[in-house]
A and B are shown apart, each in its own frame.
Chain A
Amino acid sequence: MDLLTRTEELILLAVWHLKEKAYSVHIRRMLSDITGQYWSFGAVYMPLTRLEKMGYLQSHLSDPTPERGGRSKRIYSATKNGLHALMQIRKINSAIWKGTPDDLVTNS
């Protein structure tokens, strides 16, 4: 099984955090807030599609809302496979980070 990319990891975690509010607008805003970088919609759509194709995400369309001009939103949630993939990344992360000091730059 291929490892998640960093973007996919971020998006999967954002979806998990946002729960029922996990749709593109909020996911993008959250990623922008956390990373402090500009995220275009396209940068969110592509990984979302890919993750759904890989079976890590599932989605459904919500009821139309007025602030969206009467359009519905696609709400995502992580699947079991998705959560497994996240856990795997976390295991790898902690394994590779193990024993590193809090400040790598000054203590190297």
Chain B
Amino acid sequence: MTTSPPKIAEKLLRKLFPDTRGHTMLGDFEEEFHYLTNEKGVLPAIFWYWLQLFTSIISMIFGTIYWGFIMLKNYLLIAFRVLRKHTAYSLINIFGLTLGLTCSIFIFLFIAEELSYDTFFTDSDRIYRIVRQMPDVHGPSTRNPLGPAMQAGFPELSKVTRYWQHQTPTLVAYNDLWFKEEGIAFAGPQFLEIFDYRLISGNRETVFSENNNLVITASAALKYFGDEDPVGKTMMVETKFPYLVSGVMEDVPGNSHLQFDFLMPIESYNRIAAHFYGYNPSEYSLADDWMAGMFGTYIKLIPQAQPEELEAKFPDFLKQFASYNPEVLDETLYLQPIKEIRLYSDYTSGGTVKNLIYLIYGLIVVGIIIISLASFNYMNMATAQYITRTKEVGMRKVIGARRIQLIVQFFCESAVFSVIAMVISLLLVGVLMPYFNQSVGKSLDMSFLTDPIIIAGIIGITLLTAVTSGSYPALFLSRFRPAAIISGKISLITKRGLFRNSLVLVQFTATIIFFICAVVINDQINFMKDKDLGITKDNILILPVKEDAIRNNYETVKNELLQIPDVSMVSFSAKLPINLYGSTTTEIESNGERKVFELTFANVDYDFLDLYEIEMAAGRKFSRDFTSDGTNSIIINETTAEILGYENPIGQTIEKFGGSTIVGVAKNFHFQPVYNEIRPLAFFLYRRNFRFASVKFNTTDTGRMLSEVEKVWEKHAPDGLFEYYFLNDEFQRLYKTQEKVSSSIGYLSAFALCIALLGLFGLSSFTVNQKSKTISIRKVFGASFSEVFMYITRDYFVLIVIANILAWPVAWYLMAKLVLIEFAYRTELGISVFLITGVLSLIVAAIVVAYYSVKAALTNPADTLRQE
């Protein structure tokens, strides 16, 4: 019987175990196979053959691991020896890598936090926010009664809630303890069923069974109640609205777009709104008004529902409500997945919000650049260093190291450096965390070390650094033939100079770009802060008006305030002129043409324009001499006048507002942060819902003035609280976000600068070392100190100049075309920023290079030359 061994097994054996030593193994196996077939039969023979293959593979795997481990131990040992032997070089390397890694960890943490927004609710995939697209604006504010209407109209919605974050700081008190709270939110009864925050006490379905129920977060409970159980206790809102605490929930996680401390039934919103906006809650309900579009609407779909199908039904659905407000027919509703809210929202209502995802992309790029800069340092230093190690490499090759072993050796070294740097970085991250949180406005802590995704990311960053840093030395230095290395035929110095210089060039180019961006953005913020607003904002005290007693008697209060000698002028208004939002789509007929635009209204009293020194372009200010001013006069700003397009706007009547007559055109002034352009604005003398009193004073003794003002205030509102702030302080807060961005970029460029300087420092030490003989010979022939100094530093100056030339156009493009374009009013992007950066970079580079250059220039040539 002639059978042959299993073909597959034979093939595997041949591939896996090449018969390098001429054992004629396959022949032996086949002979044994035939022998076994004859003795015991085919099956045992086949079994035996496979067993041979199987056991061989097992021993091969164990062998590989065993020898791999032995070699790894050796690689690591060598790496640590290198580290110890060249201490200065190692320190510079580790320091550079640490800076790069610290920076990337922060960037990584920032990105991870941004990506985790709103992903932690049960069935986050089925939760959507309704977004409203109007002809010229779109955003998440929907018609106030939309939520209940949707719930009644669509069976595919499992839960619906309305949500409104109260915009004004509100007084919340428990017994004598009171605070101004910003985190007041109103929501529908199903809110907590959609957003399943953990309830510490209270029942999810019934916490809002009464209209005066209140759910507070754990930190609010601690703040007001300490160890007491808050449930069943009554808290006062704005001193006159009692709320019964019915539940306590965990604090809202920071990575959610919903942020609140107090959650109240939206049914109770009307009375709070009536209090703040000054209307009668029994006559009108803001929450049920189809004319008002403020509330957010959130829905949770049933599992089988398709969001696209639901969206398709919205237009027909909205037609039902056209009788309440025909404008809804011009509106399109669509669904936004809750997970995308943070990063993919690009809404125009309520100030400019940018799509954050671009920031994330930008940060990823910056993170990679920073890591690369640090890796370049390592490459540069390692290459310079390995030139002194060529003999070692040659020796290893002679002894029989294969190229792959040298590559692994070099990668092991970069890995050791990276891991050490990572450990130091994590410590550094812990130390710097508070500053980081402060500058980016997050509240991260070291608990990320328990998050497997973050840990995987950090390990990933370390590996990436190790691989990029080690790649060049590993692939380049392992290439040479041993004889050429040992005999010194290969001049690494001249050949690799270009490579090292280009690495430093890239580092400096990137650093200069960072630096210019930081300066320009800082300039822009200062520009916005210093720009003449067109109004005065100095020496103005702001008193929020909360009490009807003051609101209704404002004339009396005003007169009494004016009795105080330090007070020169007082004005009541509904809004403040530096932060004036709340526009309405307005349709006005002018010159027979219908003009539709967003108009912002400001209800003021007679003295407002005088107090803020708003100048008039035409016409007059409001005046008590004209009785008609009290009912139907209006003052518009220049932007509005331009849109309306009257040749002479004074005296024109606008039908829209019950026949108001334009009595004046105010010169344009910035009533919103300067990054917004000046939009259409109109002043009315509607003297009912004033919310602020502006007090102009002419003294430096604000303490005395304040106590006088307080006396008047308390006389009229003895139960209320006396609150005040200065307009200038409020103004400084307008640019907080921009300042955070600016300081973050500042830190980033400082990190990049440090890394680049370390690189330059290392490189200069290397060059001086290599050129020591040349320098000495030059000195012997009479070169002066400055000539030697110039000889060494010349190349670096050229390098920095080239880096500047490369960086300038890039920085200019980034700033002029991508960043400054976002601001309506921008600072001049003059040549001076670039020139100053250029000169500074040269000076800083000179200082860094100077250490070794001076050392070299001062060395006695005999010391160097004697070595030969």
Which A residues have a C-beta under 8 Å from some C-beta of B?
A: 23-25, 28, 40-42, 45, 48-49, 61, 67-69, 71-74
Taking a contact as CB atoms under 8 Å apart, the answer to whether A41 and B25 are in contact is: yes
Given the complex, which residues of A lie within 8 Å of B56, measured CB to CB?
Answer: 42
Q: Is B15 an interface residue (CB 8 A)?
A: no
Interface residues of B in 44-86 (CB under 8 A from A): 52, 55-56, 59
Whether A42 touches B59, Cβ cut-off 8 Å, given contacts A24-B23, A69-B4, is yes
Instruction: Return 7 A-B CB contacts under 8 Å, by A number.
Output: A24-B25, A41-B32, A41-B52, A42-B56, A61-B24, A69-B26, A71-B30
Query: In this complex, what residue of A is CB-closest to B35?
Result: A25
B527 within 8 A of A: no
Q: Which of B5, B22, B31, B59 lies in contact with A25, CB distance below 8 A?
A: B31
Residues of A within 8 A of B34 (CB): 67
Lowest 10 A-B CB distances belong to which pairs?
Answer: A71-B27, A68-B27, A69-B30, A24-B28, A68-B31, A74-B24, A25-B31, A45-B23, A25-B28, A68-B30
Chain B residue, CB-CB nearest to A40: B55
What A residues does B4 contact at CB under 8 A?
69
A73 to B52, CA, bound (A): 19
Tell yes or no: B29 within 8 A of A by CB.
Answer: yes
Q: Please, which residues of chain A bring their CB within 8 A of the CB of B35?
A: 25
- Who on chain B is nearest to A69 by CB? B30
A73: contacting residue among B21, B27, B55, B59, CB under 8 A: B27
Q: Is the CB of A71 within 8 A of B24?
A: yes
B22 engages A61 (CB within 8 Å): yes
Q: Give the residues in chain B near A72, CB-CB below 8 Å.
A: 24, 27
Contacts of A41 in B (CB 8 A): 25, 28-29, 32, 52
CB distance from B247 to the nearest CB of A (A): 73
B30's nearest neighbour on chain A, judged by CB, is A69
Q: In the complex, which residues of chain B have a beta carbon less than 8 angstroms from the beta carbon of A73?
A: 24, 27-28, 31
Q: Check B21 against A49 for contact (C-beta < 8 Å).
A: yes
Q: A25-B32, A41-B52, A42-B59 are in contact. Are A71 and B26 (CB under 8 A)?
A: yes
Residue of B nearest to A71 (CB): B27
What is the CB-to-nearest-CB distance from B627 to chain A, in angstroms, rounded to a whole number?
115
Q: Which residues of B contact A49 (CB under 8 A)?
A: 21, 23
Quick one: CB contact mask for B500-537 with A, threshold 8 Å, 1 for yes? Answer: 00000000000000000000000000000000000000
| B-chain residues with CB within 8 Å of residue A40 when the two chains form the complex | 52, 55
Which B residues are in CB contact (< 8 Å) with A74?
22-24
On B, residues with C-beta under 8 Å from A are: 4-5, 21-32, 34-35, 52, 55-56, 59
Cα-based distance from A59 to B40 in the complex (angstroms): 31
Q: Which residue of A lies closest to B27 (CB)?
A: A71
Chain B minimum-CB-distance residue to A45: B23
Complex formed: what's the CA distance from A13 to B23 in Å? Answer: 19
Other A-B pairs beyond A24-B28, A61-B24, A72-B24, 9, CB < 8 Å: A23-B28, A24-B23, A45-B25, A68-B27, A68-B30, A69-B26, A71-B30, A73-B28, A74-B22
Q: Give the Cβ gap from A57 to chain B, nearest Cβ, in Å.
A: 13
Q: Chain A: which residue is nearest B59 at the CB level?
A: A42
Q: How far is the CB of A71 from chain B (nearest CB, A)?
A: 3
Please, how many angstroms separate the alpha-carbon atoms of A40 and B28 in the complex?
12
**A48 to B26 alpha-carbon distance, docked (Å):** 16
Q: Which residue of A lies closest to B52 (CB)?
A: A41
Closest B residue to A41 by beta carbon equals B28
Q: With the chains together, A48 CA to B23 CA distance in Å? A: 9
Give Cα A69–Cα B7 distance, bound, in whole angstroms. Answer: 12
A45 to B23, CA, bound (A): 7
Most chain B beta carbons < 10 A, residue from A23, A49, A71: A71
Residues of chain A contacted by B25 (CB below 8 angstroms): 24, 41, 45
Q: Among B4, B21, B31, which residue has the most Cβ atoms of chain A within 10 A?
A: B31
A93–B629 alpha-carbon span in the complex (Å):
131
Of A28, A42, A72, the most chain B CB neighbours within 10 A belong to A42
Distance (Å) between the CB of B833 and the closest chain A CB? 74
| Bound complex: CA A67 to CA B28 (Å) | 10
Measured between beta carbons, the chain A residues less than 8 angstroms from B22 are 61, 74
Please determine whether B55 and A69 come into contact, CB atoms closer than 8 angstroms: no
**Chain B contacts for A25, CB-based, 8 A:** 28, 31-32, 35
Chain A residues positioned under 8 Å from B29 (CB to CB): 41
Q: Which residues of A contact B28 (CB under 8 A)?
A: 23-25, 41, 68, 73
Q: How far is the CA of A69 from the CA of B5 in the complex (A)?
A: 9
- Shortest Cβ distance from B282 into chain A, in angstroms? 98
In angstroms, how far is the closest chain A Cβ from the Cβ of B359?
A: 61
Chain A residues whose C-beta falls within 8 Å of the C-beta of B26 in the assembled complex: 69, 71
Closest Cβ neighbor of B4 among chain A residues: A69
Residues in B neighbouring A28, C-beta threshold 8 A: 32
The closest CB in chain B to the CB of A52 belongs to: B21
Q: Using Cβ atoms and an 8 Å threshold, which residues of chain B touch A67?
A: 30-31, 34
User: How far is A74 from B28 in the complex, measured between Cα atoms in Å?
Assistant: 9
Q: Which residues of A contact B23 (CB under 8 A)?
A: 24, 45, 48-49, 74
Which residues of the other chain, A, contact B59 by a CB distance below 8 angstroms?
42
CA–CA, A90 to B52, complex, Å? 34
Cα-based distance from A2 to B713 in the complex (angstroms): 109
Chain A residues closer than 8 Å to B52, beta-carbon distance? 40-41
Give the distance in Å from the alpha carbon of A41 to the alpha carbon of B49 in the complex.
Answer: 12
Chain B, residue nearest A74 (CB) = B24
Residues on B with C-beta less than 8 A from A42 are 56, 59
Docked CA distance A1–B506 (Å): 63
Min CB distance B25 to A, Å, is 7
Question: Which B residues touch A48, using CB under 8 A?
Answer: 23
B316: shortest Cβ distance to chain A, in Å? 80
In the complex, A28 Cα to B36 Cα: how many Å? Answer: 14
Output the nearest chain A residue to B34 by Cβ-Cβ distance.
A67
Distance A45 CA – B22 CA, assembled complex (angstroms): 10
Nearest-CB residue, chain B, relative to A62: B24
Distance to closest chain B CB from A37 (angstroms): 16
CB distance from B208 to the nearest CB of A (A): 77
Tell me the minimal C-beta distance from B703 to chain A in angstroms: 96
Q: Give the distance to chain A from B620, nearest Cβ to Cβ, in Å.
A: 109
A23-B22 Cα distance, complex, nearest whole Å? 12
- How many angstroms between the C-alpha atoms of A72 and B56 in the bound complex? 22
Distance in angstroms between the alpha carbons of A49 and B5 in the assembled complex: 26
- Measured CB to CB, the closest approach of chain A to B42, in angstroms, equals 15
Q: Which residues of B contact A61 (CB under 8 A)?
A: 22, 24
Given the interface contacts A25-B32, A42-B56, A42-B59, does A69 sit within 8 Å of B27 by beta carbon? yes
A72 to B28, CA, bound (A): 9
CA distance A102 to B31 in the complex (A): 40
CB distance from A61 to the nearest CB of B (A): 7
Chain A nearest Cβ from B60, distance in angstroms = 11
Give the residue name and chain of the A residue nearest to B10 (CB): A69
Minimum distance in angstroms from A62 CB to a CB of chain B: 9
In angstroms, Cα B24 to Cα A48, docked, is 12
- Nearest-CB distance from B28 to chain A (Å)? 5
Please measure, in the bound complex, the distance between the C-alpha atom of A57 and the C-alpha atom of B598, giving whole angstroms.
Answer: 101
Complex Cα spacing A42 to B22, Å: 13
B223 CB to nearest A CB, Å: 75
Complex alpha-carbon distance, A73 and B29, angstroms: 11
- Bound form: Cα–Cα A15–B332 in Å: 94
**A42 CA / B52 CA spacing, docked (Å):** 10
In Å, the complex CA distance between A68 and B33 comes to 9
Chain B proximity of A15: nearest CB distance (Å): 15
Q: Which of A42, A48, A61, A69 has the most CB of B within 10 A?
A: A69
B556 to chain A, nearest CB (A): 108
B827 nearest CB across to chain A (Å): 79
Report Cα–Cα, A40/B48, bound state, in Å. Answer: 11
Task: With both chains docked as a complex, state the minimum distance between the C-beta of B303 and any C-beta of chain A, in angstroms.
Answer: 60
Q: How far is the CA of A70 from the CA of B23 in the complex (A)?
A: 15
Q: Which B residues touch A45, using CB under 8 A?
A: 21, 23, 25
CA distance A24 to B4 in the complex (A): 19
Complex-state Cα separation, A38 to B35, whole angstroms: 16
Q: Closest residue of chain B to A70, judged by CB?
A: B27
Output the least CB separation between B47 and chain A (Å): 15
Q: How far is the CB of B690 from chain A (nearest CB, A)?
A: 97
Among B27, B29, B56: residue with most chain A CB under 10 A: B27
Chain A nearest CB from B857 CB (Å) reads: 61
